[in-house]
Amino acid sequence: MLTIRTDLAVEAHQLWRRQAGENAALPGVAAGQEALEGLPVTHVEILDETGAQALGKPVGRYYTLDVSALWRREEDAPRRCAQAAAKLLAPLLPEEGPILVAGLGNRAMTPDALGPLTADHLLVTRHLGELLPGLRPVAALAAGVLGDTGVEAAEWIRGTAERIHPVAVVAVDALAAGDLDRLCSSVQISDAGLIPGSGVGNHRKALTEEVLGVPVISVGVPTVVDAATVAVHILEEAGKPPEDCAALRGRGSKLFVTPDGIDRQIRELSAVLARGVSLALQPGLAYEDLEALLA
């Protein structure tokens, strides 16, 4: 049987239900749906180790926001997506105190550049305390990748956190999906921390409260899908499901697919995420205020 690689808890839950039956109840997991700013939101809460083992994800809350309205060019979609992301993120954060936002990934590789580009667009305020005392102190870090720096992202972030003492870390990263329709169209927000590279089999040191000493909130968008999974989907749509899914791994076991418009999509998504994170961190600002400050 083919193992579907995904960083999304909602997909892991759907895969479990597909195998166990749509009406089956999964102990240790609660799920539901709602709408924010006219956009669909699915939430999966992993309550205990039973649920964590079943879905292969840590205990925590996982919210998946559908931002496909951006690509349908719906009216006011960037603002609606940013405000919906802010509404999901804000309750997961401590109400007061400085925040460190870490943009993870390799800006030289477009599908992996979401984190660094989001950090570039963020409203950074830690150095403006005396000038703008009404704003929450926010610092941003684009840590780079181990292959370029020789330093793990977790080491960069832990070292910075030890100096500036944030009350929480917001980690922004590109993810892997198991469904083509979710590429660049879903935002996952979670309070369970993050293991960079896990979706593509390149596990790095975990970013969790146990490692950093403060809560870690992750914000991610799937930008790649495993090629073997793509092959299965295409065959199923053609009415020819493969008899041996595992045989599709072969030489393509480390091959990943990304949309042809990924350059434009990453640029737009990073701006939307930065505004969503900034709105969550600065509840006194309206979207229009933020646009003026970042112009």
**pLDDT interval class at 285 (50, 70, 90):** very high
* Interatomic CA distance for residues 248 and 87, integer angstroms: 41
Query: CB 43: neighbour CB atoms within 10 A?
Result: 18
Q: What angle (nearest 5°) sits at the alpha carbon of residue 69, between those of residues 65 and 74?
A: 145
pLDDT reported for residue 198: 53
The confidence score (pLDDT) of residue 53 equals 94
pLDDT at 73 over 80: yes
Sequence-ordered list of residues with C-beta below 8 angstroms from that of 259, at least 6 positions apart, any chain = 183, 184, 223, 265
- Cα distances from 189 to residues 60, 159, 199, 220, 286, in angstroms, run 11, 24, 16, 7, 21
At residue 119, the pLDDT reads: 96
Q: Say yes or no to pLDDT of 278 above 80.
A: yes
Number of other CB atoms surrounding residue 3 within 10 Å: 14
Residue with tokens 């991610």: 220
Question: Can you point out the beta strands (E) in the chain?
Answer: 29-36, 39-46, 60-66, 99-103, 138-142, 168-177, 186-190, 216-226, 256-257
More confident residue, 204 or 147: 147
**pLDDT, position 247:** 63
Average pLDDT rounded to a whole number, residues 10-35: 89
d(CA 293, CA 91): 24
Query: Mean pLDDT throughout 224-239?
Result: 82
Domains, the chain: 94-289 (3.40.50.1450)
Q: Is 274 helix (H, G, I), strand (E, B) or coil?
A: helix
| CA dist 96 → 151, 237, 280, 281, 282 (Å) | 30, 50, 12, 9, 10
Give residue 294's pLDDT. Answer: 82
- Give the per-residue pLDDT at 58: 94
Identify the pLDDT of residue 67: 98
* Cβ-based neighbour number of residue 271 at 10 Å: 17
Mean pLDDT, all residues of the chain: 89
Residue 228 carries which side chain, given as an amino acid letter? A
pLDDT tens for residues 28-45? 999 999 999 999 999 999
Residue 249 has a pLDDT of 61
Predicted local confidence at residue 199, as pLDDT? 46
- Among 159-168, 189-198, 206-215, the range scoring the smallest mean pLDDT is 189-198
Q: Distance (Å, rounded) from C-alpha 222 to C-alpha 281?
A: 23
Specify the pLDDT at position 109. Answer: 93
d(CA 278, CA 137): 11
Predicted confidence at residue 239, as pLDDT, reads 80
As a whole-number percent, the residues of the chain with pLDDT over 70 amount to 91
As given in the structure block, the two tokens for residue 98 are 């400085």
Q: What is the pLDDT of residue 205?
A: 78
What is the per-residue pLDDT across 97-153, written as a single tens digit (0 to 9) for each? 999 999 999 999 999 999 999 999 999 999 887 677 789 999 999 977 776 777 888
- Would the pLDDT of 293 be above 90? no
